């Protein structure tokens, strides 16, 4: 199976040649081998300039089954490797990412459309999670418990699950896979990655880098696999009993389908779904500092992060002052080619995303919203791909139906609150999503109230920073329709392992628990 590259029609021919052409350039790969690819052709067109970057042929059902079988065999050997030895392989993968950071960051930027700085940041996330996973490889710790029976010892330990299925989204085409894969690898699992059909070349580049590291360390074939393809690949994976855990990142609609399919077979799902994230601007906030977090949260990645700031809940005492600052800041934003580092924002992922953006703006006005910063599609020189839009700010009410939804675009809804911080928290929590949240305040009582049990109902709650830009050291994920999963730091590694409780009797008799007598 070969990947067709169109290097003369795009801006990153040198990067494509180094990262995506060679032995590991297939859209279907088990690491050491590539498959022919008998599925549909996926064309990758850059949202930056509409140029065809390359095309990949996905997997047929037979090829999918072959990949899963290879991943199973790879797991059977890989799980026997000492965890620190597995960690050493991941350490070397992190070192290769350091070498290729600029190139991979440029590919992410060009294929997905985020700014080059954000592309570099995404690769840095991969490097950081590798470092985290290396340390984790010498932990993976359980607990010891005192037994009620004499001469007995109790403890728990953790074992790998098997083949881990990873379904990733276009907006973070490499980082989210690495969050899952590195932790799964050091835990002793093999991974099968179904990347977004909108960013297939990023997956091929990552697989090629990983495959070279794995080859020189004699890692068994199948520990790292990719299967490019459409929706059907995710459906196969979700229904496959050979895949004990499916980690899926994407829309709430997609997550509900994955969760239902995996749950029906009593498998495990790790879901990272939609966000409708809010920042509360207290009347006790540092408004200048708050502005940075709000603007980056709203326009970073063109509003296509699951943690993007969608709502600003502003105290009426500072509403006018802060919205004026917001309007001035939006007036300074530069939109254009994300590879040009002077630009703050690049394109949306495709023209369908533009249509959804326009539909949301129309709905907001029809529902009574007032335009504070006018949006709209951008046309003309430099915007020929049809994927560029202007970030918009709309004055809104919390109960407007469009405000209750997640629109994956740079639309920011601003609304007032009065009274104490409890009123703002109630507005923030009154949506179906529960991923990221923040409050801007210099009042300790307000901050602690926001972080308390009666405060934010989100998986992430920040004080004096925005909703976007999580570090890998903390567990990442949210509640309600965000799915409830946790990835990345803290003890997220436990999702990829099974817990086992052990009791050892080192005495000369066999007493029963709870004092039960059973004499023979």
pLDDT tens string 181-239: 999 999 999 999 999 999 999 999 999 999 999 999 999 999 999 999 999 999 999 99
The single residue listed with the structure tokens 């169109």 is 6
Kindly state the tokens that stand for 244.
């004990």
Percent of the chain with pLDDT over 90: 90
State the Cα–Cα distance between residues 66 and 367, nearest whole angstrom. Answer: 52
Percent of the chain with pLDDT over 70: 97
Q: Which of 23-27, 102-106, 256-260 has the lowest mean pLDDT?
A: 23-27
CB 256 within 8 A of CB 234: no
User: Which of these, 351, 397, 357, 363, lies nearest to 375 by C-alpha position?
Assistant: 357
pLDDT tens string 249-293: 999 999 999 999 999 999 999 999 999 999 999 999 999 999 999
- Adjacent-strand bridge partners of 475: 488
CB 241 within 8 A of CB 266: no
pLDDT tier, 35 (very low <50, low <70, confident <90, very high otherwise): confident
Q: What's the farthest any 2 CA atoms get from each other in the chain?
A: 91
Give mean pLDDT, residues 100-127: 97
Q: Buried b / exposed e across 295-325, counting CB within 10 Å, b at 16+?
A: bbbbbbbbbbbbbbbbbbbbbeebbeebbeb
CB 121 within 8 A of CB 176: no
Kindly state the tokens that stand for 420.
């104490």
- Adjacent-strand bridge partners of 440: 281
State the Cα–Cα distance between residues 330 and 307, nearest whole angstrom. Answer: 19
| HEC sequence for 173-229 | CCHHHHHHHHHHHHCCCEEEEECCCCCHHHHHHHHHHHHHHHHHCCCCCCCEEEECC
- Adjacent-strand bridge partners of 415: 313
Say what the pTM is.
0.96
pLDDT tens string 330-387: 999 999 999 999 999 999 999 999 999 999 999 999 999 999 999 999 999 899 999 9
User: Which of these, 267, 31, 60, 89, lies nearest to 164 by C-alpha position?
Assistant: 267
Q: Is 327 helix (H, G, I), strand (E, B) or coil?
A: helix
Residues in Cβ contact with 234 at an 8 Å cutoff, skipping those fewer than 6 apart: 167, 194, 248, 254, 258
pLDDT tens string 55-99: 888 999 999 999 999 999 999 999 999 999 999 999 999 999 999
Residues in Cβ contact with 520 at an 8 Å cutoff, skipping those fewer than 6 apart: none
pLDDT tier, 6 (very low <50, low <70, confident <90, very high otherwise): low
User: Which of these, 18, 423, 388, 68, lies nearest to 222 by C-alpha position?
Assistant: 68
Query: What are the φ/ψ torsions at residue 163 (nearest 5 degrees)?
Result: -90, 120
Which helix (DSSP H) or strand (DSSP E) does residue 376 occupy?
strand 376-377
Question: To the nearest whole number, what is the mean pLDDT of the chain?
Answer: 95
| Count of CA atoms in the C-beta half-sphere (13 A) of 138 | 6
State the Cα–Cα distance between residues 219 and 78, nearest whole angstrom. Answer: 7
State the Cα–Cα distance between residues 184 and 493, nearest whole angstrom. Answer: 7
Give mean pLDDT, residues 382-409: 97
> In the prediction, which pLDDT does 22 show?
53
Cα dihedral across residues 449, 453, 455, 458: positive or negative: positive
Q: How many CB atoms lie within 10 A of CB 206?
A: 28
Give mean pLDDT, residues 397-411: 97
CB 204 within 8 A of CB 224: no
Q: Which of 20-34, 39-53, 266-280 has the highest mean pLDDT?
A: 266-280
CB 166 within 8 A of CB 206: no
Q: Which residues are catalytic?
A: 272, 306
* pLDDT beyond 90 at 34: no
DSSP line for 158-176 = EEE-SEEEEE--SSSTTHH
Kindly state the tokens that stand for 313.
């809940």
CB 396 within 8 A of CB 413: yes
């Amino acid at each position: 199976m070969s990947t067709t590259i169109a290097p003369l029609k795009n801006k990153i021919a040198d990067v494509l040649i180094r990262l995506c052409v060679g032995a590991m350039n297939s859209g279907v790969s088990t690491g050491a081998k590539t498959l022919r690819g008998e599925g549909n052709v996926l064309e990758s067109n850059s949202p930056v300039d509409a140029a065809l970057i390359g095309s990949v042929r996905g997997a047929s059902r037979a090829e999918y089954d072959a990949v899963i079988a290879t991943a199973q065999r790879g797991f059977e050997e890989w799980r026997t490797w000492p965890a620190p030895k597995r960690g050493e392989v991941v350490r070397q993968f992190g070192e290769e990412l350091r070498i290729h950071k600029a190139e991979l960051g440029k590919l992410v930027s060009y294929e997905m459309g985020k700014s080059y700085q954000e592309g570099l940041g995404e690769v840095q996330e991969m490097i950081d999670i590798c470092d985290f996973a290396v340390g984790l490889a010498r932990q993976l710790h359980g607990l010891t418990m005192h037994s009620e029976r004499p001469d007995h010892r109790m403890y728990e330990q953790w074992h790998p699950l098997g083949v881990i299925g990873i379904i990733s989204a276009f907006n973070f085409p490499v980082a989210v896979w690495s969050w899952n894969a590195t932790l799964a690898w050091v835990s002793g699992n093999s991974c099968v990655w179904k990347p977004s059909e909108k960013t297939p070349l990023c997956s091929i580049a990552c697989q090629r880098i990983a495959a070279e590291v794995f080859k020189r360390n004699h890692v068994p074939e199948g520990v790292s696999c990719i299967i490019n393809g459409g929706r059907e690949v995710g459906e196969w994976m979700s229904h496959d009993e050979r895949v004990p855990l499916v980690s899926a990142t994407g829309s709430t609609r997609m997550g509900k389908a994955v969760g239902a399919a995996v749950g029906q077979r009593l498998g495990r799902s790790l879901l990272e779904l939609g966000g409708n994230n809010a920042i509360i601007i207290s009347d006790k906030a540092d408004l200048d500092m708050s502005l940075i977090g709000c603007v980056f949260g709203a326009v970073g990645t063109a509003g296509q992060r699951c943690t993007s700031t969608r709502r600003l809940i502003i105290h009426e005492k500072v509403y006018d002052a802060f919205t004026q600052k917001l309007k001035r800041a939006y007036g300074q934003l530069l939109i254009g080619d994300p590879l040009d580092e002077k630009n703050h924002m690049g394109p949306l992922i495709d023209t369908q995303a533009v249509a959804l953006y326009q539909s949301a703006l129309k709905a907001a006005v029809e529902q009574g919203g007032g335009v504070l910063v006018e949006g709209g599609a951008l046309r003309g020189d430099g915007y020929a791909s049809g994927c560029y839009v202007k970030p918009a700010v709309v004055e809104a009410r919390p109960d407007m139906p469009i405000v209750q939804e997640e629109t994956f675009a740079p639309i920011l809804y601003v609304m007032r609150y009065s009274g104490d911080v409890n009123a703002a928290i109630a507005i923030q929590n009154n949506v179906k999503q529960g991923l990221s949240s923040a409050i801007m305040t210099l009042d300790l009582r307000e901050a602690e109230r926001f972080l308390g049990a009666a405060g934010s109902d989100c998986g992430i709650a920040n004080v004096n920073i925005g909703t976007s830009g999580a570090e890998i050291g903390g567990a990442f994920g949210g509640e309600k329709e965000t799915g409830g999963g946790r990835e990345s730091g803290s003890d997220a590694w436990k999702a990829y392992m099974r817990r086992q409780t052990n009791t050892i009797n080192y005495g000369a008799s066999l007493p029963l628990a709870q004092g039960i007598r059973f004499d023979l």
